[in-house]
Amino acid sequence: MSLHARVEGTQPDSWEDPSVVQIWFRGGADYIVPRADAGIFTLGSYPRDPEDGRRLETLADEIHRVTEGRTLRVAEVSERLRLAHQTHIRGAAVTGRVHIRWDASNIWLIPVERPAIDVDDARRELARRFLHWYGPTTVATLARWTGVRPAEARTTWADIEAELVEVDVAGERRFTLAADLEALERAEPIAGVRLLPMDDPLTKLDKELLVADEELRRRVVPPYGDGSGYIPGAVLVDGEIVGGWQRQQRKVTIHPFTRPSASVREAIEAEGLAVPIAGTAPPSVGWD
């Protein structure tokens, strides 16, 4: 869905295009990244503590040993390694030697060769990518996003500090890449309608700035683990979040903050019908 919001012609199986690959990122989140940049997104979060690194490399060695180069279900690999829990295996992702395939039902583990990129280069480039996408931001947010210790993030930040400029965001001291400053200052809201899924990059951070009203914000980006079972996405119209939406199979339900105009309603419904979800039933859009 995030790809569909940004790329025309996205199909239900576009996530399996050979140009992209799935990895575990930040301790276990499923990310789809450019295959050519897999080393940045894996080794970029590699621990700086030598003992931690040795432990994870040993785990990667064992994964390669028991899989013998084959793609196997995570459950089977965990059983062969006699791990107490399947999640323990996810740490090996930062070695760059493990990819995954997840289709929302099963997860397969794919042993791969270590990426040909220096670890420090990967750390710096991952930080630049983060600042390019999420800036203006802070080093503390970089640590949370990459899943590394705050001290490790500060070391990487210091390595690229000469490339940064300070920016004020609602009274908060933040930083962005100097190379991006002019583009940020001249940026215009996007035009048209997008249906963004939960945890889309646009809504991942700065939720208070995206939706100032707390009650409305909970309806579109609710807190993690609130126990409600309500998992919405964001309805974006000309760069502004105007409501939430949910999907069940090929049925899309819109939860607007206010009653939209006829033209906006029509555009939202057209986008809902274009959602690239596989299925035999015809797509439909309903309103709450």
Domain 14-111 sits in CATH at 1.10.10
Token pair, residue 242, equals: 């105007």
Cβ neighbours for 94, distance < 8 A, ≥ 6 positions apart: 42, 43, 45, 46, 47, 56
What is the per-residue pLDDT for 41? 97
3-class SS of residue 193? strand
Q: Which tens digits make up the pLDDT trace of 27-51?
A: 788 999 999 999 999 999 999 999 9
What is the per-residue pLDDT for 120? 98
User: Within 10 Å of residue 178's Cβ, how many Cβ atoms?
Assistant: 11
285-to-156, 219, 234, 244, 268 alpha-carbon distances in Å: 46, 19, 15, 13, 9
Instruction: Calculate what percentage of the chain has a pLDDT beyond 70.
Output: 99
Q: Give the pLDDT band (50/70/90) at residue 225.
A: low
The candidate with the shortest Cα–Cα distance to 236, out of 212, 200, 286, 205, is: 200
Residue 26 has pLDDT above 90, yes or no: no
What is the per-residue pLDDT for 86? 73
Strands 107-111 and 284-287 come out as unpaired
Intrachain domains 14-111 and 119-185 with the same fold: yes
Token pair, residue 209, equals: 């700035």
Instruction: Calculate what percentage of the chain has a pLDDT beyond 90.
Output: 86
Residue 228 has pLDDT above 90, yes or no: no
Token pair, residue 118, equals: 């220096």
What is the per-residue pLDDT for 227? 64
The candidate with the shortest Cα–Cα distance to 123, out of 159, 96, 97, is: 159
Kindly report the CATH class assigned to 119-185: mainly alpha
Q: Give the start-to-end residue ranges of the domains of the chain.
A: 14-111, 119-185, 193-287
The average pLDDT across 180-206 equals: 93
Residue 231 has pLDDT above 90, yes or no: no
